[in-house]
Chain A
Amino acid sequence: MSKRMAALRRPGSLALVALWVVALLVPFFLEAFWLQTGLFAMAAIIGAIGLTILTGTTGQLSLAHAFFAAVGAYGYCYFAGTSGLGVSSATGLNLPPLLAMVLAVALSGVAGAIYSPISGRLRGIYLGIASIGLVFIGQHILFNAAGLTGGFNGRDAEPFSLLGFSFTQTDPELVIAGVQFTELERLWYLGILLVLLAYHYGRHLVDGRPGRALETVRDSEVAAAVMGVDVTRYKAAVFTVSSMYAGLSGVLLALIFNRIVPESFGLNLSVEFLAMIVIGGLGSVRGAVLGAAFVSMLPKLLDHYSDSLPFLATAGAGGGVEPGQAARFAFGAAIVAVLVFAPGGIGTLWHGSRRKDKAPPDTTRPPATGSPARPAPSTPKERST
C-alpha cells in the first residue's frame, strides 16, 4: 500500500499543487455560473469521498447517503436558524454558524452510528436494499416533521459566518484585485478548505492502518477477525465516518442552495453518489473526486450550453433530448461502461495496463487468488460459500 502511494505521489504531487493554485484563482477569472457549478461539485466531492470509503474500501453497499446528507443539511439549518422567520415556521437554535456546522456533521455521525447496528448485521445486498428504506423513511420525516424541516416548502439556510465575517453578498463589502467578493466567491474558499480537509483525511484514512483493516474486512471478514481487526467496531466506525462526510456535504449544499427542500435528498441523490464513486473507481479517493466532478457538473454544463449543442433541446420545449436527460444518459452509460471495460475507474484508462492490477479486487474472492482484476474467463460465476 505505502509503496503504491509513493509511486503515485511522485508524478502527481506537482500537478496536484498546480491544481490547488488554479482552484484558488478561479473566482478572479470565472463568472458566477462556474462558481456555483464548482461549489456543487465540491459538495459532491466531499460526499463521494465518504461513500467511496464505505462502499469501495469496506465493501458496504449503501444507498443511504442522501439520507445522511439530509441530516447534515437540515441539522445545520436547525442549529443555525432562528425560530419563526421566513415562510415556514420551523424552529431553530440560533447558534453561531461554525458551531452549527460542527454540530450538524456530528449529528450525521450520530445518525450513522445509530444505524450501524442494523448495517453491521446485514450483509452485502441486504444492506444495500435496507439503506434504500432509510432514504424513503427519511423523506417521509422531512415532509411531515414540518416543525423542524419546514415540510414540503423546506426551510432557509442561515448564511455562514466566521468570527464576525459574514458569507453574504455585501456585508462587509470586499473587493480584491477588482473582483467584488459576493456570496459565491466567499463560499468558494470555504468549499476549497472543506474539500482539502475531507480529501486529506480520506487519503490518510484509506492509505493508513485503518484503511488496510477496512480492506481486509471487505475481502474477508473472517480473515480480518483472525488478524485481530474488530470487524463490528470497524464497520460501525466506517459507517459513522462516511455519514459525517455525507453530513458535511449536506451542510455545504444547504449553504449553496440557501434554501433546502426534501426533494433534493431523495433516492436520486444516493444513486448519483454511487455513480460518482463507480465512475471514479471504487475505493479510490482521487477517483471519487474525479467522478463527483463529472457527475455533478455534467447536467449543469449541458444545460448551460444547450443552445450551442445541436443534439440538445432546451428544457421543457419537447422533442430531442433535454439537457438533464442527456446528462442522465451520459452517466448511466458511464456506470455501465466503467464496470464493463475499466473496473478500476476511469483513472485506470489513461494510466494504462500497468495499473490494472491495482484495481479494487473482487470483494468476495479470497485475496490469494492472484490478479483479481481479470478473472479467468472459464471461472464460473461467483459463489458465496
Chain B
Amino acid sequence: MTQFVELLINGISLGFVYALLALGFVMIFKSTRVINFAHGSVVLLGAFLIAKLAGELGFVLAALVGVAGAALAAALLYLVILRRVRGRAADTVTIATIGIDILLATELARQIGQEVLNIGDPWGSKVVRFGDFAMPEARVAAAVVALVLLGGFVAAFKFSPWGVAMRASAEDGEAGALMGIRLTRMAAGAWFIAGALAAVGGIFLTTFPTPGIDRTSGLAALSAFPAAILGGLDSVAGAVVGGLIIGVVVTMSAGYQDEMSFLGRGLSQVAPYVVMVLVLLARPSGLFGTRELTRV
C-alpha cells in the first residue's frame, strides 16, 4: 500500500510536468491548428541553456534566462518559418515542424555530444517525508511550480483581455480579426507561452530522479504527445487531465515493472501510447476534445 500511494503521488507530480508540456501543444493547436513536433527540441533547448548558464548565473537567474530563451525560440519559429506556410493544410505545417525538429535536435545533440549535463538545481537528490511516504524534493517543487503556472494560466485564459482575445481568435479567426484582434500577434504569443512552459517542463524532466540532460532528453517530452492527444487537442482541461493520467501510468508501470514482467521490459515507455490508442478508439477526438463536425 505504501508503495502504491508513493507511486501515485509521484505519478501525479510527474503528471503536472506532462500537463505543462501538453498545455503547450494545446495552446499551439488552438491558435495555429498545428501539432508542434519541435516541442521536444524546445524542451531540450530550454534545459540545455539553463544547464550551461547555471554555473555562472546561479540556478534561478539561469532558469529565467533559459525559459525566456526557449519561449523566444518558439515564437521565432512561428514568426520566421511557420507563418509563411500559414493557410496551407494543417498537415503540411505540421510536417514543417518535423523538419524544424530535425534541425534543432541535431544541433543540440551536436552541442551536448556524449555528455550528461547537470541542470544545477537546488533540490539535488534530497527526499521529503510525509509520514510514511517519501518523495524527491524536485518532484514536490515540480508539482508546486506546475500548479501555480497552470492556475495562473487558466485564470488569465478565462478572465484577462488577452485570454478573451485568444479564445475568440481560436473560435473564429476571421471574426476575431474583424474585431481588431491581431491574429499573428496572438499566434506568436501562444507559441511564446508554449515555449516557456516547455522549458519549465524541461527543468523538471531532467532533475532527480532522472540522471540529467543528455542528447536524448527531448524524447522524454514525446510522452506529452499522448497526454495532449488523449485529453483532446483543443482542450485546456484535457491537457491537465491527460498529463495526470499519463504521469500516473508512466510511474505505475515503472514501479510495478516486476509484477508485470510478462508484458516485457521497458513497459513504462510504451504504456502512454497504449493508453492513448485505447482512448482514441473510444473517443476519436480525445476525452475533452471538440468533435469535428462536417458541414457542407
Contacts and interface: CB of A to CB of B under 8 A. Distances in A.
Do the two shown chains form a genuine complex with each other?
yes
A253 to B, nearest CB: 21
Contact of B99 (A123, A332, A382): A332
B160 interface: no
B277 A325 contact: no
Contacts of B106: 325, 328-329, 332
A133 B103 contact: no
A384 B261 CA distance: 44
Given A130-B280, A336-B96, A382-B86, 16 more contacts: A55-B91, A123-B284, A124-B91, A125-B29, A133-B226, A134-B273, A332-B100, A332-B102, A332-B106, A339-B95, A339-B99, A340-B84, A343-B85, A379-B87, A380-B177, A381-B32
Contacts of A328: 102-103, 106
Interface stretch (A82-90, A136-144, A156-164): A136-144
Give the residue among B29, B81, B102, B229 with the most A Cβ atoms within 10 A. B102
Interface string A310-334: 0000000010011001001101111
A-B complex: 5 closest residue pairs judged by Cβ atoms: A335-B99, A144-B264, A332-B102, A133-B273, A363-B89
Nearest to A131: B277
B142 to A, nearest CB: 24
A335 B277 contact: no
Given A132-B273, A144-B265, A125 B94 contact: yes
Nearest to A374: B87
Nearest to A338: B99
B87 A121 contact: no
Nearest to A320: B110
Interface string B201-234: 0000000000000000000001001100100010
B76 to A, nearest CB: 13
A168 interface: no
Size category, A interface: 35 or more
Contacts of A128: 35, 91, 94
Interface stretch (B192-200, B243-251, B288-296): B288-296
B33 A384 contact: yes
Nearest to A376: B87
A137 B280 CA distance: 15
A321 B292 contact: no
A130 B284 CA distance: 10
B103 A336 contact: yes
B269 interface: yes
A256 interface: no
Contact of A130 (B101, B103, B229, B265): B229
A125 B92 CA distance: 11
Contacts of A55: 91
Contacts of B85: 339-340, 343
A380 B99 contact: no
A383 B284 CA distance: 19
Contacts of B32: 381
Contact of A136 (B89, B109, B172, B270): B270
A278 interface: yes
Given A335-B99, A339-B96, A339-B99, A140 B173 contact: no
Given A143-B266, A333-B103, A384 B81 contact: no
5 contacts: A61-B91, A340-B84, A363-B91, A375-B88, A379-B87
Given A333-B103, A363-B89, A382-B90, A340 B276 contact: no
B275 to A, nearest CB: 9
Nearest to A361: B89
Interface in A328-385: 328-329, 331-336, 339-340, 343, 362-365, 375, 379-385
Contacts of A384: 33, 90, 292
A197 interface: no
B257 interface: no
Nearest to B31: A381
A325 B81 CA distance: 22
Contacts of B117: none
B183 interface: yes
Contacts of A126: 229, 233, 280, 284-286
Contact of B183 (A137, A278, A380): A380
A364 B92 CA distance: 11
A129 interface: yes
A133 B225 CA distance: 10
A125 B264 CA distance: 30
A384 B34 CA distance: 12
Contact of B89 (A59, A145, A318, A321): A59
Interface in B35-87: 35, 81, 84-87
A362 B88 contact: yes
B180 interface: no
A174 interface: no
A222 interface: yes
